[in-house]
Structure 1
Amino acid sequence: MPKLNREDVEKLTAMAIDLARNGQTTELLEYFDHGLPLNVQDAGGNTALMMAAYHGHGDAVRGLIERGADVDVRNGRDQSPIAGAIFKGEDEIVRMLLAAGADLDAGTPPARLAAEMFGKKHLLAPDAD
């Protein structure tokens, strides 16, 4: 990928975040396969992984994790992808993030507390389905 200036990176980041939010996995992953940094954050601190997880797009989450996305990058409100997925009731995504080593104690609120608040503590058990 050619050297990009800050404005170009911001535009590409915004487009990637929108693709993640909308579950356009093939297009999203192409951005990262062509050199956009996996953990790039928008103005709110959100990563593509955060948006895909929050909106329940399992294929996008899986593809980002497979490419090495950091599952613990928190947004500007100190929210983690796994806590967001718990909040939204995205059980499959929670399992994927756990399998990828997500930190249950990071962020505000941490995933452990979010799971307790939303009746999802069973998802965090080592033998969860």
Structure 2
Amino acid sequence: MRPEPPEAVGEAAEGTVDQAVELAHALFDLARAGDTDRLAAYVDAGAPVDLTDPQGNTLLMLGAYHGHASTVRALAERGADVDRLNDRGQSPLAGAVFKGEGEVVAVLLEHGADPDAGRPTARETAQLFGRGDLLP
């Protein structure tokens, strides 16, 4: 069962824990799928832009790793931390470089992502996987 529309974000967060968890799972799914408009509507209605999953991956990290430049842009424009590391110390930029997602890399750099953040850094990842063309 899907959560209520974006207008109900506050209600779900104040409701039962099950409702809040269900909403969080739905938001992570939207980020992975690149459903930018729906995800942005939830964030605009009050969902945390830097919501993290149990592994510390933010919505932006999931969007970046799955190659959704428009989702990454929308979240960055709403204040998402483009350098927030997951629990493994990985940055969204390093993930995008690893996956060869040039458009995502460009969006992250445009929004100030640090190529030297995390371990391995995006620069190290680019060197390791022969993707030096993705970084300036």
TM-score, length basis structure 1: 0.88
Segments of structure 1 that go 5 or more residues without pairing to the other structure are none
Deviation of 1:93 after TM superposition, in Å, equals 0.5
Give the AA of the match of 2:134: L
Matching of residue 82 in structure 1 with residue 99 in structure 2 = no
> Would the aligned equivalents of 1:10 and 1:42 in 2 still touch at CA under 8 Å?
no
| 1:73 corresponds to | 84
RMSD over aligned CA atoms reads 1.6
Matching of residue 4 in structure 1 with residue 14 in structure 2 = yes
CA deviations on 1:50-103 (whole Å, 9 max, x unpaired) are 011000111111111111111011111111100000000001110110111111
Q: Counterparts of 1:115 and 1:9 in 2: how far apart (Å)?
A: 37
SS in 1 for 2:24: helix
Structure 1 residues 13 and 105 mapped into 2: Cα distance closer, same or farther (>3 Å)? same
Structure 1 residues 6 and 88 mapped into 2: Cα distance closer, same or farther (>3 Å)? farther
Structure 1 segments (4+ residues) deviating >4 Å: none
Matching of residue 96 in structure 1 with residue 103 in structure 2 = no
Matching of residue 17 in structure 1 with residue 35 in structure 2 = no
| 1:34 corresponds to | 45
SS in 2 for 1:74: coil
Q: Counterparts of 1:12 and 1:37 in 2: how far apart (Å)?
A: 11
Of 53, 57, 62 in structure 2, the residue corresponding to residue 46 of structure 1 is 57
Decide which moves more: 95-104 or 4-13: 4-13
Give the AA of the match of 1:24: D
TM-score, length basis structure 2: 0.84
Q: Which structure has the larger Rg? A: 2
Give the AA of the match of 2:95: G
Give the AA of the match of 2:39: L
Give the AA of the match of 1:52: G
Deviation of 1:21 after TM superposition, in Å, equals 0.3
Give the AA of the match of 2:79: G
The share of aligned pairs that are identical, in percent, is 50
> Would the aligned equivalents of 1:39 and 1:70 in 2 still touch at CA under 8 Å?
yes
